[in-house]
A = this chain, B = another copy of it.
Amino acid sequence: MITSDSGCDRFSPLFTDLYGLTMMATYDHHHQNHMATFSLFIRGLDSLNRGYFVSAGLDDCLAHLEKLRFSPRDIAYLKQLGRFSPSFIEKLAAFRFTGDVWAMPEGTICFADEPIAEISAPLPQAQLIETAMINIMGFQTMIATKAARCIYAAAGKPLVDFSLRRTQGFDAGMKVARCAFLAGFAGTSNVLAGQQYGIPVSGTMAHSLILAFGGDEEAFIAYARTFPDDCIFLIDTFDIIAGAHAAVQAAKWLSENGHRLKGVRIDSGDMVEESRMVRNILDSAGLQSVQIVVSSGFDEYLIADVIHSGAAIDAFGVGTRFGVSSDAPYLDMVYKLTRYNNRNVRKTSPGKITLAGEKQIFRHVDASGKFNMDTLGARDEAISETRPLLEPVMKKGRRLKPSVPLSAIREGFQVEFSHLGDEYKALYEPKRYPVEMSPELLKLQN
């Protein structure tokens, strides 16, 4: 277990709602240790403008399950709470997760009500991990989905993740960079994510550099002396037209010294109008190859708007609104008991009904690969001419395969995404993808 004083203690079993432990103790007390299956899925009620989801977070979930241990410090804390019986606490030192997991690979396109993973384990174990499973998979799936929406809106123009300063904490900053790259972003500004996940990093200067050097041109030339082959000048500190002309001067200096200006960045104002003015200034100076990069307030909606309005933009820095999924900052992902002790179970609370039984998702794909519809069925069904999405990934607490490299997940997603029709990718009110229940699964509900 990794412990730090940072409040980010990923493999601690204490990363749970208290009820995970009180229920575990109750099950233990009453010998309710039979096999249970829980389904992890997104409830489909209020998924704003989301026509599909992109599953992500599985690798972190499996790492969590493999490494879950109660440390002596954890046990001391639980003792000190005075709620749990000594005999229960004693058993925790030997706790290991010994269950099985079926899941869809990361980067799979999925829909509301479809299980992203199903976990089968003795009931106390399966109960303990609920909070962590939802937290990990829910957040990453939300961000990978948001990233895919941005990629779709950008219609081929490169995107870079600039969200780190406004993500909801450190862990979010790392996962956002990872999910952005998974869905096709070109890179991230987050250096730590570059180091940990092998994602290309990018970034050059803030307004403070221009202020420190006392003027646009002074700052650009200074930067060019330090990084002559990697200059993207920020031109809106004082006045964007003057900034663009200063960039032209600095480009001349670079050219005289055997280098080429890569780009300029605009971080405020009306991006459509400004990008076109700047494009004219650059083109008039023979700098057709210099790219215009923009940042500030971009998400899929604004990206689509400025492209539609004919902005002269070559690449986008996508920050805050993307990094917190601001139009839909949480997914209603849940983890529900569907089978216990060889009995299929479900709850019927108003608006929160669940489906009983162990499941499989069968995807109907046409000859060209396009997704036509999904059938939600029982796990042991076979539905011909479909692709099952859930596969066994963990058996008795051990992964069945090593982690998939992020670059391979990214490539896989690109293929998946090309098979989903545009009607489901629409940014506003996308068509509802057909997901039906198999007669077999329907039968299980009674």
Q: Provide the residues of chain B in CB contact with A174, threshold 8 Å.
A: 7-9, 169
Q: Does A428 contact B (CB under 8 A)?
A: no
- The answer to whether A123 and B337 touch across the interface, beta carbons within 8 angstroms, is no
A residues sitting closer than 8 Å to B (CB atoms) are: 2, 4-12, 14-23, 25-27, 29-30, 32, 36, 38, 63, 73-74, 77, 81, 83, 85, 123, 127, 130-131, 134-135, 138-139, 162, 164-175, 178, 189-197, 201-213, 222-223, 225-227, 230, 236-239, 267-269, 320-321, 323-326, 329-333, 336-337, 340, 345-352
13 sample A-B contacts, Cβ–Cβ < 8 Å, listed by A number: A9-B196, A15-B170, A16-B191, A17-B190, A19-B204, A22-B203, A22-B204, A22-B230, A74-B195, A212-B337, A236-B349, A236-B350, A324-B330
The answer to whether A10 and B18 touch (CB under 8 A), given A169-B135, A222-B30, A349-B207, is: no
Given contacts A135-B169, A166-B330, 18 further A-B contacts (CB under 8 A): A5-B196, A6-B10, A7-B171, A8-B10, A14-B195, A15-B164, A18-B204, A26-B223, A26-B227, A74-B195, A131-B165, A134-B165, A166-B333, A169-B175, A212-B345, A267-B352, A268-B352, A324-B324
A169 & B166 in contact (Cβ 8 Å cutoff): no
Q: Which of B77, B212, B267 contacts A123 (CB 8 A)?
A: B212
Residue in chain B with minimal CB distance to A225: B29
Residues of B within 8 A of A9 (CB): 170, 174, 192, 196
Contact of A201 among B18, B165, B320, B326 (CB under 8 A): B18
A119 → B minimal CB distance (Å) = 12
Which of A25, A201, A332 is most buried by chain B, counting CB atoms within 10 A of its CB? A201
Question: Across the two chains, which residue of chain B brings its CB closest to A76?
Answer: B195
A317 nearest in chain B by CB position: B17
Cα–Cα distance between A139 and B8 once the two chains are bound (Å)? 15
Inter-chain contact B192/A12, CB cutoff 8 Å = yes
Whether the pair A211, B352 counts as a contact (CB closer than 8 A) is: no
Q: Is the beta-carbon distance between B8 and A191 smaller than 8 angstroms?
A: no
**Which of these, B7, B134, B164, contacts A196 with CB under 8 Å?**
B7
A348 (CB) vs chain B CBs: closest residue:
B238
**B residues near A193, Cβ cutoff 8 Å:** 7
Q: Which residues of B contact A323 (CB under 8 A)?
A: 330
In the bound complex, CA of A5 to CA of B174 (Å): 11
Q: Please state if A167 and B17 are interface contacts (CB–CB under 8 Å).
A: no
CB neighbours (8 Å) of A134 from chain B are 165-166
Tell me if B138 and A17 are in contact (CB < 8 A).
no
Q: Would you call B127 and A139 a contact (CB within 8 A)?
A: no
